[in-house]
Structure 1
Amino acid sequence: MGASQYASSFGRLQSIAINFLSEEFLQNLLKANSVTEMVKQLESTWYGEEIKKSASVYKEAELLEVAFNRHIVETNKIISEATPFSGKNAVRAYLSKWDLYNIELILSSKAMGREITETESLLISSRNVPAGIAAGNISHDEIKIILAETTVDGVVSKLTKYDYGVVLMKHLDEFQKTGDLGPMMSALHEAYYQKLLESLKFFQGDEGSIRELIRAEIDKKNILNLLKAKESNLEKDVITKHLVEGGRISSKELLDSYEVKDVIEMVGKFDSYFKLTDAIEQYKTSKSLIDFEVAITKFIFTNYVKKLRNIALSIGTIFYFLFRAENEHENLKRITYGKRYDLPIDKIKGMLLF
C-alpha cells in the first residue's frame, strides 16, 4: 500500500471536512424556537441542497430527516470514492451497515403491518443511489420492490438473492412461531461484524486500532440490548439470542451480568470497559437508558475514533471521517426530534454526541 494513495485520500477528505458543523453551530441550533427555524438555519449549510430538493414533498421534521438521510448517503459516497483500492473492501464492508438499517426498518414495518409510504422516506437511500452505497448490494429500485412485499416472509424471500437473505432464512421459522425479529437481526449483525473484522486483517499494520474500535461497537450493542432486556424484565434465555459475538466482552461475562438485580448494578459490571459512573448518576434521575448509550458512544469516540485521526496516511483516516459524519447525522436527528416534541434544551443537549 503506497502512502501516496492515502495522501491523495486525505487531501480529498480534508476538503470536505470544512463543511462539518461546528459545536458552536449545533449549540445555536439547540436554541432554535422550532423545527421550522432549524430548517432555515440549516439551509445555509451543506444540507441546504437536499433540504431544497425535498421541501416540495416533506415538511418540518420529516423534511429534515429525509435530507439528513440523503446527505449521509452522498457523504459516504464521497468517502468511498476517496478510498484507495487496497482499502475499499474494508470500507464497503463497514458501509453495508446501512443495508442492515434498511432491512431492519423494512422487516419491522412489515411485522407491524405498516404501509410502504410510511417507511420509504426513512430509508438511508437517495433516489437512484444504492441504499448501502459503498457495498452497493441493494439498489434503490430493488429496495422499492422489496418494500412492495406485504409480509416478513416475502421480504426475506426477496433478500435470498443477497447474503442477507441466506442469514435471515435460517431464523424465519423461529420468527413465525414467536413473532420476534430479534434473533434474525442479531444473526444479520453478527455476520456483518464478522465480515467487517475479517476485512480489516490485511493492511500495513495500523488496522489494529480500527478492529478494537469495531469490537467496542459490538460491546456497545450487546450492553444496550442487555439493559433494554433488564428494564423489560425479559428471561435470560431470550436475551441470549440477541447477543453478537466478536466484542471484547465475552458472552459469558455479558450473561453473568444479567443475574444482578437491576440496571444500575448491571451497568456497574461494565464500568472498567466504558467508565460509566457519571451515566449511572444521570440515570438515577432520568431513568432513561439513552444516558448509557450517549456515555458509551462518547467514550468510544474519545478513546478509539479520535486516535484514528492521528494515524497519518492510512485507512484509519478514512474511518475517522466515516464516524464523524455519522455522529453529525445522529446529533442533527436528535435535535430535530427534541424540538418536535418540545423537550427542554438541557435534555436534548444531554443526548448529543459532542
Structure 2
Amino acid sequence: MRLLQKFRGKSSPKQGGSGGSNYAYVTARVRAMKSNLLPKETYPRLMNMGIDEITRFIEESQYKQDVDELARVYDGVDLFEHALNRNLAVTFTKLISISEGELNFLISEYLKKYDIWSIKTILRGKYCGASVEEINDSIVSAGQLSYSFLSSLAEKESYESVIDALSGTDYYPTLKGYDGTNLSAIENQLDKMYYDGLFYALGNPKSKDSKLFAKLIRTEIDSKNLSTLFRLKNAGVEEDEIAELILDGGLHISKKEIERLLPLPFSDFVQSLEKYPCWEDISDIAKPEMESLVELETQLTKYNIKSATSFSHMYPLSIVPIMDYILNKKNEVNNLRIIMRGKAADLDEEIIRNQLVI
C-alpha cells in the first residue's frame, strides 16, 4: 500500500521555539472537517444494514476516496478495515501538516499514541502467530511512523527482528526488555512512556493552550486509570499488581488517591467514586455486582469526549476544538469498526450497541 510512504520521524518544533501557532486557521479548518463527521442518527441506520449495505454507505461518504484506492487490493471486511485506518491516518497527518509552532508540536506529541498502538499490535500479532494481513488490518499510521515502515515490521519473522528494526527510535530502550513472555508488562511500560513523554514535552505549561492541553490529557489518564481499577479489582487482582499498571498525572484522581482506593472492597471502591466528575456518566453502570465492563468503558470514553466538547465551546480559538475533533473522529472510526466487526461475527445487536459511543 502506497500510504504515507515517507518515514515521519522528524521532530516537531519545541514548545516556545521559533514561529507562531496558527490556531485561528486550524480551528476554522477543523470546524469544516467536523461538519463531515457522521451524525449520531446514522448509527441506528447502520445497525439495520447488512455488511454489503454498510460498505456501500461508506463508499458514498467521506471515506469514498480511501475505499476506491484500496479496492484494487482488498475486499469485504478487509477493505473496510484498511479504508478506516487509512482515512484516520490521512486525516490526522493533515492536522500536523497545516499546523505551526506550539500547535504543531502538541498535536504531533499527542498522535505518537498511534505509533505505540501499532507497535503493540505488531508484537501482539507475533506473540499470537497472526498473519501479516491480520496485523496490517489493525495498524494505524497516524503518528510519526509511516505505514510502509510499520507494515515492514509486520513482515518480520520474529519479535526480535521487529525490535531490532526499532533500534533508532525512542521506543527501543523499553522494547529491548521484551523477552517474548512479558508482553503485558512491556505494553504498560510503553503507555507510561507515552504519557511521561507528553508531560516532559509540556514541561511547566505556561500558555493557555498548553494548560488546556494538559488538562485534557490528565482527564484521559483519569479515565484510563478508572478502567484499569474496575477491570482488575473486579477480577480480584492483588493491590501491588494493580498499582504497577496505574498511570501518574490524573486530573481529579491523583496517584495518592488511587493508593487510597486500592485496598477498598469492590463495593466500597464503587461508592467512593461518587465525588468525582465522571460519576454522573457511570453511576447507572458502576455497581458492585457488575458482570461486564464494556458499558463502563464505553461511558468513560463518552465522558472524555464530552469534556473536550464542553471545553471547546468555552475556548473556541484554542487547541481544545482541535483535540475535540481528534477524539470525535477517532470515535467515529471505532464505532464503524465495532458495527462492521460485530455484523461479520454475527453478534447480537444489543452487544454491538452497548459498545458504541454515541
TM, length-normalised to structure 1 = 0.85
SS at 2:334 equivalent: helix
Match of 1:81 among 81, 97, 100: 97
* 2:245 pairs with 1:238: no
Q: What residue number does 2:4 align with?
A: none
* 2:48 pairs with 1:31: yes
Q: How does 1:13-162 map to 2 (within 5 A)?
A: 13-32=30-49, 34-124=50-140, 131-133=141-143, 136=144, 138-162=145-169
Q: What residue number does 2:189 align with?
A: 187
CA shift at 1:47, angstroms? 1.0
Unaligned runs of at least 5 residues, structure 1 = 125-130
SS at 1:23 equivalent: coil
Q: Retained in 2: the 8 A contact 1:35–1:339? A: yes
The RMSD of aligned alpha carbons is: 2.6
Q: Retained in 2: the 8 A contact 1:102–1:123? A: yes
Q: How many residues align?
A: 336
> Aligned AA for 2:341?
Y
1:232-289: CA deviations, max 9, x gaps?
4333333332222222323343344343444x553433343211211225x957x221
CA shift at 1:343, angstroms? 3.4
Q: What residue number does 1:314 align with?
A: 318
1:42-65: CA deviations, max 9, x gaps?
211101221222334433333222
CA shift at 1:4, angstroms? 8.7
Distance 1:192 1:325, change over 3 A: same
Distance 1:70 1:268, change over 3 A: farther
Q: How does 1:288-307 map to 2 (within 5 A)?
A: 288-307=292-311
> Aligned AA for 1:116?
V
Q: Retained in 2: the 8 A contact 1:158–1:165? A: no
Distance 1:260 1:204, change over 3 A: closer
SS at 1:279 equivalent: coil
Q: Retained in 1: the 8 A contact 2:221–2:247? A: yes
CA shift at 1:17, angstroms? 2.3
Distance 1:309 1:340, change over 3 A: farther
Q: What residue number does 1:210 align with?
A: 213
1:108-142: CA deviations, max 9, x gaps?
11222323232122211xxxxxx244xx2x23332
Rounded to whole Å, the distance in 1 between the matches of 2:237 and 2:183 is 15
Q: What residue number does 1:127 align with?
A: none
Q: Retained in 2: the 8 A contact 1:206–1:314? A: yes
CA shift at 1:305, angstroms? 3.7
Rounded to whole Å, the distance in 2 between the matches of 1:271 and 1:61 is 42
Q: What residue number does 1:280 align with?
A: 286
Distance 1:60 1:269, change over 3 A: farther
Rounded to whole Å, the distance in 2 between the matches of 1:97 and 1:186 is 13
Q: Whose helix fraction is larger, Structure 1's or Structure 2's?
A: 1
CA shift at 1:165, angstroms? 0.9
SS at 1:307 equivalent: helix
1:87-114: CA deviations, max 9, x gaps?
1111100011100110110111122232
Rounded to whole Å, the distance in 1 between the matches of 2:346 and 2:333 is 20
Rounded to whole Å, the distance in 2 between the matches of 1:203 and 1:78 is 27
SS at 1:294 equivalent: helix
Rounded to whole Å, the distance in 2 between the matches of 1:225 and 1:152 is 27
Rounded to whole Å, the distance in 2 between the matches of 1:38 and 1:284 is 36
Q: Retained in 2: the 8 A contact 1:50–1:71? A: yes
Q: What residue number does 1:166 align with?
A: 173
TM, length-normalised to structure 2 = 0.84
Rounded to whole Å, the distance in 1 between the matches of 2:244 and 2:163 is 19
Greater CA drift, 187-196 or 242-251? 242-251
1:186-223: CA deviations, max 9, x gaps?
22111211222343455632432321221121122222
% of aligned pairs identical? 26
Q: What residue number does 2:223 align with?
A: 220
> Aligned AA for 1:81?
S
Match of 2:353 among 334, 349, 354: 349
Stretches of 4+ moved more than 6 A in 1?
Answer: 1-4
> Aligned AA for 1:181?
L
